[in-house]
Amino acid sequence: MAKPGLTVAIIGGGIAGLMFALALSKSREDIAIDIYEAGPDFSELGAGLNLWPRVLEIMDSFGLIGELQATAGKPDHEKKMQFRKGDEPGSIIWGESPASIHGIHRGDLLKILVEHTATRCQSHFHKKIVSYEDIPHQPVILNFTDGTTATCDLLVGADGVKSSVRAYMYNQMADKLQSEGRIDDEVENVRKHAKPYWSGNIIYSSKEEARRQMIITYPISQGRFINTACVVVKDDLYGTIYDGPWAVRTTNEEVVKQYNGWDAPAQALVKLAENPMRWVVNIVLDDLPTFACGRVAIIGDAAHSMTTHQAAGAMQAVEDGYVLAALLGRPETSPGTIPLALRAYDEVRRPIAQSFQRLSRQTAQMILLDKMDGVTKETSAASVYSKETLPNKNDLLQELFQWAPKSSVVPDRDRALQIYGTMVRNSNSGFEHRLPLETVLAFSKM
Ligand SMILES: Cc1cc2nc3c(=O)[nH]c(=O)nc-3n(C[C@H](O)[C@H](O)[C@H](O)COP(=O)(O)OP(=O)(O)OC[C@H]3O[C@@H](n4cnc5c(N)ncnc54)[C@H](O)[C@@H]3O)c2cc1C
Ligand SMILES: *[C@@H]1O[C@H](CO)[C@@H](O)[C@H](O)[C@H]1NC(C)=O
């Protein structure tokens, strides 16, 4: 490549970072892409991932669908997500997702992404970012824990729920407000977003009181594996800080013990769990005021880590990358217009991703049959509640997943491009570097 028109640094090589790198590498020839990953290589924790038709559409637009199907098999349009009350002998199916599901192995997806980005991107391992400097008319400077630095025109934090980029962005905004003499509450409302919070969900819980649980299971890798997650939900603990370790090994016995009294398929399934892990599901709060500031943006879990109940976290990460890459790929994009591109990205993507965060929480309440008249843990265990009310829940479920069959990200991309086009035409100064602090404050007060 001759001198690149744009240099982009991506922090984190998970699904969000690599999918964005891929989208960007297909968008414009003259963009130089560096990926900085804290770990020794690219890897994914956990096994299964469900892809909705909306993600498959994006994979197809990048010409990856054939490779994905070669390992994951062809999607079966008849295969829907089924919702079953199984915590008693003789289970009842009470709902079905309105769109088909496609279970894949995370490793298979990652392998395809790594192969396709290898030729166009520079990968750097053992590079953990701690801070950055975004001073107008100078390159953005990245600082790593090993004392080294790097530069770029655009910094994209795809560094997961514990994101250092998000933490630095929000601490800096809070410091700025503090220096302007804002009241403590306002400052704290911004600073709080530097941290991840507990969703109240634990997957493969062992010691927790088994009050409100569910099992999510589906085949992956063309049925060679069964992916199973047992989730305990304590919604009253949503938004608290979880101090213990986030992931630990547990035993099969611990998991099995919790499903005493469940129906036969549920008990058979949990008995199969080999070397189960116990995961504490941490999230980003769904009122994060901005996904971008100056020439720095956050994508994927760094911006909107959510609970698993809509199976939408990775899908939303992929959509972030798709829309952001389309904006950067425009011929008019230069280092000077990047803040505008990031504003358009934030304006279009943030409300959508945050609506999935909220839908996911509502879906858990639905699956756990909260607010269902006349059924308690005890009446359910004794099987003496009104079974006629269960099918009514399917209508509510259809509402929660109504986005799934419509399934296209293209209108979102086009809206972002339109907003960006208008901003570029109306801006004569190019660089627009003010922190969107007033926006941030207005949002935090809501
Ligand atoms: C049990 C479970 C089931 C799920 N099921 C689904 C599903 O069915 N469908 C779906 O769409 N989504 C699902 N999700 C959500 C999905 O897994 C995540 O949303 C997605 O993997 C997030 O990807 P990411 O790249 O944003 O973050 P991550 O995968 O966390 O990647 C972040 C990367 O950044 C690196 N990093 C971190 N900090 C730094 C730093 N300071 N400097 C440099 N690098 C750094 C990390 O090493 C890592 O490689 C599920 C999640 C869970 C927990
Ligand atoms: C980043 O590193 C440079 C060079 O070591 C240093 O001058 C600068 O203060 C660091 N910036 C931050 C924000 O830590």
Ligand 1 nearest atom to the CA of residue 302, by list position: 26
Whole-number Å distance, alpha carbon 5 to ligand 2 midpoint, is: 25
- Nearest Cα to Cα of residue 75 among 94, 96, 95, 59: 59
CA 317 to ligand 1 centroid distance, Å: 9
pLDDT-based confidence at residue 210 (cuts at 50, 70, 90) = very low
Residue with CA closest to ligand 1 atom 14: 313
Task: Please work out whether the CB of residue 158 comes within 6 Å of at least one atom of ligand 1.
Answer: yes
Query: Is residue 292 lining ligand 1, measured as CB closer than 6 Å?
Result: no
Whole-model pTM: value is 0.93
**In the structure, what pLDDT confidence band is assigned to residue 1 with cuts at 50, 70 and 90?**
low
Residue at token pair 């098999």: 73
- Cα-to-centroid distance, 16 and ligand 1 (Å): 7
Separation of alpha carbons 264 and 280, rounded Å? 27
Q: Which of 182, 194, 21, 32 is nearest to 110 (CA)?
A: 21
Ligand nearest to the CA of 134: 2
Task: State if residue 149 touches ligand 2 by the CB under 6 angstroms criterion.
Answer: yes
pLDDT at site 433: 47
CA atoms within 13 A on the CB side of 353: 34
Q: What does the chain come to in residues?
A: 446
Ligand 1 centre distance from Cα of residue 443 (Å): 26
Domains present along the chain, CATH in parentheses: 6-444 (3.50.50.60)
- DSSP-derived pairing of the beta strands 140-144 and 296-298: unpaired
The string of pLDDT tens digits covering residues 306-324 is: 999 999 999 999 999 999 9
Which atom of ligand 1 is nearest the CA belonging to 316?
Answer: 11
Q: What is the 3-state secondary structure (H, E, C) of 133-161?
A: ECCCCCCEEEEECCCCEEEECEEEECCCC
Beta bridge partners of 223: none
Ligand 1 atom 30: the closest Cα is on which residue? 160
Task: Report the amino acid identity of residue 438.
Answer: E
* Position 232 pLDDT exceeds 90: no
In this prediction, residues 410-424 reach a mean pLDDT of: 95
Residues 270-288, buried b or exposed e (16+ Cβ, 10 A)?
Answer: beebeebebbbbbbbbbeb
Q: What is the dihedral of CA 73, 76, 81, 84, to 10 degrees?
A: -100
For 254-275, what is each residue's pLDDT tens digit?
A: 888 878 888 888 888 888 888 8
Ligand nearest to the CA of 142: 2
Q: Is the CB of 171 under 6 A from ligand 2?
A: no
Confidence bin at 238 (pLDDT 50/70/90) = very high
Both tokens of residue 52? 């909705």
State in Å: Cα 59 to ligand 1 middle.
Answer: 18
Write out pLDDT tens, residues 271-302: 888 888 888 999 999 999 999 999 999 999 99
- Asked if 296 contacts 173 with a C-beta cutoff of 8 angstroms, the reply is no
Vertex 50 angle, CA 45 and 56, to 5°: 115
Report the chain's terminal Cα–Cα distance, integer Å.
47
